[in-house]
Amino acid sequence: MSDLASRLSDYSVFASLAPKVVAEVAECVTEVRFDEFEQVFTAGKDADSFYLIEQGRVAISVQPPNGDPVTISTLGPGHVLGVSWILPPHRLTFDATTLAPTDALMIDARRLREKCEHDSELGFALYARFAGLIRDRLVATRLRLLDLYGNTGSS
Amino acid sequence: MTRVVDTAGLDEIVRLLRAAGRTVIAPTVRDGTIVPAEIESGAELPIGWTEDQNGGYYRLAATDTPERFAFSSPSDSWKRYLHPPRTLLVRTRSTEAGIDVELPDPSAPSVALFGVRSCDLAAMHVLDQVFLDDAATDPGYAARRADAFIVAAGCAHPGNTCFCASMQTGPTPNAGYDLAVAELYDNGQHRFLIDSGSDRGANLLAEVDSRPATEADTAAAAAAHDNAVQHMGRTLSPSDPPAAAAHTDHPRWDDVAERCLACGNCTMVCPTCFCSSTQDSSGLIPGEAERWRVWDSCFTADFSSVHGGPVRSTTRSRYRQWLLHKLVTWHDQFGMSGCVGCGRCITACPVGIDLTAEIAALARSGSESGEAPNTTNATVT
Amino acid sequence: MTLHEDHAVSIGSTDGAGPMVPVIHRVVAATADLDDTTTLTVRPVDNALPRPQPGQFNMLWLPGIGEVPISLAGLDGDDLVHTIRNVGAVTDALCSLQVGDFLGVRGPFGAGWNLARARGRDVLVVAGGLGIVPLGPLVDELISDRANFGQVSVVIGNRSPDTLLYPERVKSWAESLEVEVTVDVASPDWTGHVGVVTELLTAVNTDPANQIAFVCGPEVMMRFAAEAVIDRGTPAENVLVSLERNMHCAIGHCGRCQLGPMFICKDGPVLPWSRVDPVLKARSR
């Protein structure tokens, strides 16, 4: 396994996939670095890439018409930044901004989608893994909807 | 070893217990039922009385014999004499300098519990596991328990709601008493076989006119025992509780929850239900307060409340907690069943819910018992 | 009767008066941590109770008002430290106590965190909201006995940055341990994590197969946290949670805190997830 493939396999979305599949993904990787408070992507733009965060922290946020952006969640080492690339219309839904200097593996999503078009094994593997990722995010979001740490007292 | 006394001898035992300073608590007729209460002589035993019990039903009935113990068991248990419904824990006075804590007078009237059925004797052994725990002993219970002189009475007249034979707690007492009485009334002969189970029991018995039991006496007692075993009104199969516990989503839970009023009667009459609440109250005099321990029931909403609401919010969940605790998890906690087969919960239930019938239905799988629930149960919450 | 051999219940009385008689203490410090949360430091007027272990609890009592189970927040010398959230009549009165006021204490009760089991292993501490209170003295002990444990990571979930309990203490923990704090709702100046604790478990450096996880928070949060930890390879018996139930006596006599075969007051409050999970699953409706 190449060094890059091994690094990809550290992420749960690519862990223990067939080497052939990981190798296809590895062909789409570019290493990138962002400074603190740098915009990684912007809501409404085409989702042409996604990121595997190696170091640092990224805020997923939304910009209200007035005031500061509201952070919805943060992502850090081991997390995948960006899921919009895999589902039509391949459009980014939120802003992503670094909260600290951040190293990431950027994946060329346009190229990966093309590979998926021609390689159903690759396509199925990635759809299944990203569906799991989206499920985990949905569960986490629902947990936060419960406002568990709020005072549930009846006093 | 076994001695035989006549009715005068039995009365003499009551007299000797009272002469020794004990309050004698015995089955006696009060307010249309037989309950354990103070008696002043053997004449106050329920002579010539029996009762008819069934689900939600209790009526006294006259016998045409002078038997003292022709009934099954008193409608109320003996629990209140060892684990009283209300117990003062502390009385306090708050001052600038602190909180003065005054403990209640630990002395209580010395009692004799006279005529305790084997099921109720077993229930006392069950309560011992709760309150005489080495790690945390209830000092009041321990004192009352050690003091109480117990005269057990073998049961020859099990009722419709009885199933002590199923629970292996009766009908004949075999341990845990000072004296054990077996009443025999045949061919016009009225006599009581008496065994002692302790030194103080033997010492008391020695003061009473008695003769040794004959083989005929013991054979008659054995026959009465066998007859009682054959006449249990209810049965409970030992394999049913674990099977029911595995069916926590059985539709029968919805069915019983529709009938159960969550009144808590079953827990009040149960000889082993021990649950309580601790209640703090202020007096009229500023700074003075009291803490009481008061019987409580797992059928109340408040019982399981944490901030935000009760953990068991439905009657379904509370009935299930009560039944499975009594018959299943009690074994995990105390190494024995919490049910002794006295049947009081069946008699005392206003709608006649019968735990032996419930557990049998629950032990069958949901699909097998499809006839029991009706379709409206889906709306029960 | 089954009791954890290393967690024998000690009765909350010093003079043989019985386990239901409170021992009078005086408040020597009272600090408002949050709008609805207060930390009391209390000292016995006469005899001290047995020294509590992290994860155990005391019953705090006010005459004429009532009594509530409150977990140990820490020890200050021989003084007991308790952090109390105002959620009802009794806790409201406790939170209103001033230095010099008196209260009754019974305890310590129940099974604590059993830190001995974690010796020589990695330790993952997961706290949600008020769950940081009983875990606080555990983390303090992990730090003072640091050499006996492998990687120690502390993950704290809270509603918002400004409602985090013990911010200074958490900062000091971060000097010697991996500490991550995540919030549900971020303020604009917050650059820490935003999200639920389960999302941070992928990032911590403990070895799931060789760790003991100590989890405390709202029961729903503990379920998700325990399952996430177990999904990552930690056996369920190595995931310890602390449960809350109604308690009046704390010694297994009042029956209120029963959960399946367990009395939370004496078999718990700290229990392995392997014992808790099947009972909670069966308990629905």
Q: What domains sit in chain C, N to C, each tagged with a CATH number?
A: 5-109 (2.40.30.10), 115-242 (3.40.50.80)
- Contact yes or no for C61/C46 (Cβ under 8 A): no
Residue C202's pLDDT is 83
Q: CA of C130 to nearest chain B CA: how many angstroms apart?
A: 13
pLDDT-based confidence at residue B374 (cuts at 50, 70, 90): very low
Q: Which residues of B touch A152 (CB under 8 A)?
A: 307-308
In a mutational test of the A interface, the residue from C194, C200, C216 whose CB has the highest number of chain A CBs within 10 Å is C194
Cβ contact C102–B94 (<8 Å):
yes
Q: Which neighbouring-strand residues pair with C30?
A: C40
CA distance C82 to B119: 46
Residue A132's pLDDT is 95
pLDDT tens-digit series, residues B197-230: 999 999 999 999 999 999 999 999 999 999 999 9
CA distance B326 to B332: 11
CA distance B126 to B356: 20
Which residue in the set A136, A144, A154 is minimally distant from C88, CB to CB? A154
Both tokens of C18, joined, read 């019985």
- Count up the domains in chain A and report the number: 1
Both tokens of B224, joined, read 């009465």
Cβ contact A153–B309 (<8 Å):
no
Q: Which residues of A touch B307 (CB under 8 A)?
A: 152-155
pLDDT tens-digit series, residues C222-251: 999 999 999 999 999 999 999 999 999 999
pLDDT tens-digit series, residues B326-368: 999 999 999 999 999 999 999 999 999 999 999 999 999 755 5
| Prediction ipTM score | 0.88
Cβ contact C182–A150 (<8 Å):
no
CA distance B318 to C255: 13
Which residue in the set A69, A74, A152 is minimally distant from C193, CB to CB? A74
- Contact yes or no for B107/B139 (Cβ under 8 A): no
pLDDT of B380 > 70? The answer is no
CA distance B109 to B111: 6
Is residue A101 within 8 angstroms of chain C, CB to CB? Answer: no
Q: Which residues of C touch A77 (CB under 8 A)?
A: 203
Q: Which residues of C touch B90 (CB under 8 A)?
A: 20-22
Asked, as a colleague might, if the bond just before B36 is cis with ω within 30 of 0, I would say no
Q: Determine the average pLDDT of the residues in C74-92.
A: 95
Name the neighbours of C, counting chains with at least 3 Cβ pairs within 8 A: A, B
Residue B367's pLDDT is 55
Can you give the C-alpha Rg of chain A in angstroms? 17
pLDDT tens-digit series, residues B148-165: 999 999 999 999 999 999
Average pLDDT along chain A? 92
The whole model's pTM is what? Answer: 0.90
Secondary structure of chain B as H, E, C letters = CCEEECHHHHHHHHHHHHHCCCEEEEEEEECCEEEEEEECCHHHCCCCEEEEEECCEEEEEECCCCCCCCCCCCCCCCHHHHCCCEEEEEEEEEECCEEEEECCCCCCCCEEEEEECHHHHHHHHHHHHHHCCCCCCCHHHHHHHHHCEEEEECCCCCCCCCCHHHHCCCCCCCCCCCEEEEEEEECCEEEEEEEECCHHHHHHHHCCCCEECCHHHHHHHHHHHHHHHHCCCCCCCCCHHHHHHCCCCCHHHHHHHHHCCCCCHHHHHCCCCCCEEEEEEECCCCCEEEEEEEECCCCCCHHHEECCEECCCCHHHHHHHHHHHHHHHHHHHHCCCCCCCCCHHHHHCCCCCCHHHHHHHHHCCCCCCCCCCCHHHHHCC
- Contact yes or no for A98/A36 (Cβ under 8 A): yes
Q: Tokens 């499920």 label which residue?
A: A135
pLDDT-based confidence at residue C6 (cuts at 50, 70, 90): very low
Q: Which residues of B touch A153 (CB under 8 A)?
A: 307-308
pLDDT-based confidence at residue B1 (cuts at 50, 70, 90): confident
Which residue in the set C11, C63, C245 is minimally distant from B136, CB to CB? C11
- Contact yes or no for B52/B138 (Cβ under 8 A): no
**Side-chain half-sphere of C72: how many Cα atoms within 13 Å?**
30
CA closest to C35 among chain A residues: A151
Q: CA of B309 to nearest chain A CA: how many angstroms apart?
A: 8
Is residue A145 within 8 angstroms of chain C, CB to CB? Answer: no
Q: CA of B172 to nearest chain C CA: how many angstroms apart?
A: 27
Residue A90 carries which DSSP code?
-
In a mutational test of the A interface, the residue from B302, B307, B311, B313 whose CB has the highest number of chain A CBs within 10 Å is B307
Query: In this structure, is residue A155 part of a structural domain?
Result: no
Q: Tokens 């039922």 label which residue?
A: B33
pLDDT of A53 > 90? The answer is yes
Which of B166, B83, B80, B160 is closest to B118 using CA atoms? B166
In a mutational test of the B interface, the residue from A146, A147, A148, A152 whose CB has the highest number of chain B CBs within 10 Å is A152
Residue type, A71: T
In a mutational test of the C interface, the residue from A145, A148, A154, A155 whose CB has the highest number of chain C CBs within 10 Å is A148
Residues of A within an 8 Å Cβ radius of B? 152-155
Both tokens of A147, joined, read 């406002």
CA closest to C37 among chain A residues: A151
- Tell me how many residue pairs between chain A and chain B have CB atoms under 8 A apart: 8
Q: Determine the average pLDDT of the residues in C164-185.
A: 96
Average pLDDT along chain C? 91
Q: Determine the average pLDDT of the residues in A117-133.
A: 96
Query: Looking at per-residue confidence, does C5 or A101 come out higher?
Result: A101
CA distance A93 to C6: 54
Residue B315's pLDDT is 93
B217-253 as b/e: b if 16+ CB within 10 A: beebbeebbeebeebbbbebeeebbebbbebbebbbb
Cβ contact A155–B307 (<8 Å):
yes
Q: Cα-flanking dihedrals φ and ψ of residue B233, to 5°? A: -75, -25
pLDDT of C13 > 60? The answer is no
Cα A11 from chain centre: 11
Cβ contact B333–C263 (<8 Å):
yes
In a mutational test of the A interface, the residue from C36, C153, C178, C199 whose CB has the highest number of chain A CBs within 10 Å is C199
Both tokens of B290, joined, read 């009291």
- Contact yes or no for B326/B266 (Cβ under 8 A): no
pLDDT of B188 > 60? The answer is yes
- Tell me how many residue pairs between chain B and chain C have CB atoms under 8 A apart: 137
Give percent above pLDDT 90 in chain B: 84
Which of A55, A63, A66 is closest to A93 using CA atoms? A63
Cβ contact A149–C92 (<8 Å):
no
Is residue A3 within 8 angstroms of chain C, CB to CB? Answer: no
CA distance C279 to C209: 25
Cβ contact C86–A146 (<8 Å):
no
Both tokens of B51, joined, read 């009762």
pLDDT of B38 > 80? The answer is yes
pLDDT-based confidence at residue C284 (cuts at 50, 70, 90): low
Cβ contact C285–B381 (<8 Å):
yes
Q: CA of C88 to nearest chain A CA: how many angstroms apart?
A: 5
Q: CA of A118 to nearest chain C CA: how many angstroms apart?
A: 32
Residue C82's pLDDT is 98
Both tokens of B329, joined, read 């998890």
Query: In this structure, is residue A103 part of a structural domain?
Result: yes
pLDDT-based confidence at residue C18 (cuts at 50, 70, 90): confident
pLDDT of B371 > 70? The answer is no
Both tokens of C252, joined, read 């297994």
pLDDT-based confidence at residue B306 (cuts at 50, 70, 90): confident
pLDDT of C283 > 90? The answer is no
Residue B376's pLDDT is 37
Can you give the C-alpha Rg of chain C in angstroms? 18
Query: In this structure, is residue A105 part of a structural domain?
Result: yes
- Contact yes or no for C57/C109 (Cβ under 8 A): yes
CA closest to C12 among chain B residues: B136
Q: Which residues of B touch C102 (CB under 8 A)?
A: 94, 98-99
Is residue B221 within 8 angstroms of chain C, CB to CB? Answer: no
Which residue in the set C87, C182, C217 is minimally distant from A151, CB to CB? C87
Is residue C186 within 8 angstroms of chain A, CB to CB? Answer: yes
Which residue in the set C157, C159, C188 is minimally distant from A150, CB to CB? C159
Give percent above pLDDT 90 in chain A: 86
- Contact yes or no for A40/A107 (Cβ under 8 A): no
pLDDT-based confidence at residue B2 (cuts at 50, 70, 90): very high
Q: Which residues of A touch C186 (CB under 8 A)?
A: 70-71
- SS3 of residue A113 by DSSP: helix
CA distance B353 to B256: 8
Cβ contact C194–A74 (<8 Å):
yes
Which of B285, B292, B99, A153 is closest to C95 using CA atoms? A153
pLDDT of B378 > 70? The answer is no
pLDDT-based confidence at residue C131 (cuts at 50, 70, 90): very high
Q: Determine the average pLDDT of the residues in B282-295.
A: 92
Q: Determine the average pLDDT of the residues in A73-87.
A: 95
User: Dihedral (C-alpha) B262, B263, B267, B268: value to the nearest 10 degrees?
Assistant: 170
CA distance B58 to B51: 7
pLDDT of A154 > 70? The answer is no
In a mutational test of the A interface, the residue from C34, C184, C187 whose CB has the highest number of chain A CBs within 10 Å is C184
* Domain of A9, in residue numbers: 3-145
Dihedral sign of CA atoms C88, C93, C96, C97 in order: negative
Q: Which residues of A touch C128 (CB under 8 A)?
A: 148-149
Q: Which residues of B touch A154 (CB under 8 A)?
A: 307-309
Q: Cα-flanking dihedrals φ and ψ of residue A83, to 5°? A: -125, -10
Which residue in the set C86, C194, C196 is minimally distant from A143, CB to CB? C196
Domain at A119, CATH number: 2.60.120.10
Which residue in the set B133, B307, B325 is minimally distant from C88, CB to CB? B307
Both tokens of B339, joined, read 């049910």
The residue ranges of DSSP E strands in chain C, in sequence order, are 23-34, 37-44, 57-62, 66-71, 74-76, 79-85, 102-109, 122-128, 152-158, 178-183, 193-194, 211-216, 239-242, 258-259, 262-263, 270-272
Q: Sort residue B305 into left (φ over 0), alpha (ψ -120 to 50) or beta.
A: beta
Residue C285's pLDDT is 53
Residue A16's pLDDT is 92
